[in-house]
Amino acid sequence: MELLLDLFLPLSLAVIMLSLGLGLTLGDFGRVVRLPRAFIAGAIAQVILLPLVAFGLLMIVPLPPELALGVMILSFCPGGVTSNVLVRFARGALALSITLTAVVSLLAVVTVPVLVAWMAELFVGASTEVDVSNLAVAVFLITTLPVATGVAIRHAAPAFADRVEKPLAMLANIIFVLIVIGAVAAGAGTLLGNLATLGPLLIALNVAMLAIGLAVGWVSGLTRPERIAIALEAGVQNAALGITLGGLLADASGALPGFTLPSAIYGITMYLVVAPFLWWARRGVSQTSPVPAG
């Protein structure tokens, strides 16, 4: 277990984030200025509304403290490569999706450690002590640095980036599946005891954020593809990051299953929820004109 927490999970996530970075260019970050309304709407849905909805659901459906903290950790995670792939499949605004994923992933080095420490104090108290500085360094090393490295490689050697991007993305997908399977297997007992409440809560969170993402885009007067992108960015989180963060906390507490299970289960249930959304999105993708805010 110690080898899993200290080495495999962080290195695996770093590979996943490097894969994300290889698909980014410096221009993706410039869209924050060129598309301020769409970016702000997406950031509000993902960074502010998602944690608030998760917290509200936990007030309605109480979970054991470790699982509740795991749900909040998941809500703090940015989108990942998966959200970009799904936006592309749904024929949403891929450029907006990539920009949101890139910027929010880089901001995670600041937002995630502080918010996780706050929620750890609220849900589990002194039983899990979170060192914000150490967690910030860990998040930087396993998320921000690999993403920045991928962007730098894309900028300096685009031909090389093109050659390795697809194989690395495939490897990242395989690693993600292994991480989810490993976390579920490690917490099988806890999962069976709480699946009746944890599963529906995660599905409700997923459905709620897809709907809220669409609503935020509609109120902001964005095009249908932009609304689809925001919905998927808000509704599809980086479950691998959630599992890894839970593992980092568990390193001190020895409670891997509780902290990581929500992200592991979400890594499975999100595809069940997103599938009908993708079908709906592809059906009406031709409606691309801005919708009045009402």
| Alpha carbon distance 143, 105 (integer Å) | 7
Cα torsion through 177, 82, 244, 141, rounded to 10: 130
71 vs 123, residue with greater confidence: 71
Mean pLDDT to the nearest integer, 41-55: 94
Half-sphere exposure (Cβ direction) of 183: Cα atoms closer than 13 Å? 34
DSSP of 103-172, one letter per residue? Answer: HHHHHHHHHHHHHHHHHHHHHTGGGS---HHHHHHHHIIIIIHHHHHHHHHHHH-HHHHHHHHHHHHHHH
Task: Give residue 294's pLDDT.
Answer: 35
Does residue 289 register a pLDDT over 50?
no
Q: Which of 113, 128, 41, 129 is nearest to 76 (CA)?
A: 113
Average pLDDT over all residues of the chain: 80
**pLDDT top residue among 53 and 253:** 53
Give me the pLDDT at residue 293, please.
Answer: 39
Q: In the structure, what pLDDT confidence band is assigned to residue 3 with cuts at 50, 70 and 90?
A: very low
Q: How confident is the model at residue 154 (pLDDT cuts 50, 70, 90)?
A: confident
- In sign, the C-alpha dihedral spanning 243, 247, 248, 253 is positive
pLDDT-based confidence at residue 182 (cuts at 50, 70, 90): low
> What average pLDDT score do residues 261-270 get?
85
Per-residue pLDDT at 251 exceeds 60: no
263, 243 in Cβ contact below 8 A?
Answer: yes
pLDDT exceeds 80 at position 248: no
Other beta carbons within 10 angstroms of residue 190's beta carbon come to: 19
How crowded is residue 192: how many other Cβ atoms within 10 Å of its Cβ?
9
Predicted pLDDT of residue 91: 85
Please determine, for residue 105, whether its predicted confidence score (pLDDT) is greater than 90. no
Identify the pLDDT of residue 1: 47
pLDDT score recorded for residue 292: 37
Residue 288 has pLDDT above 50, yes or no: no
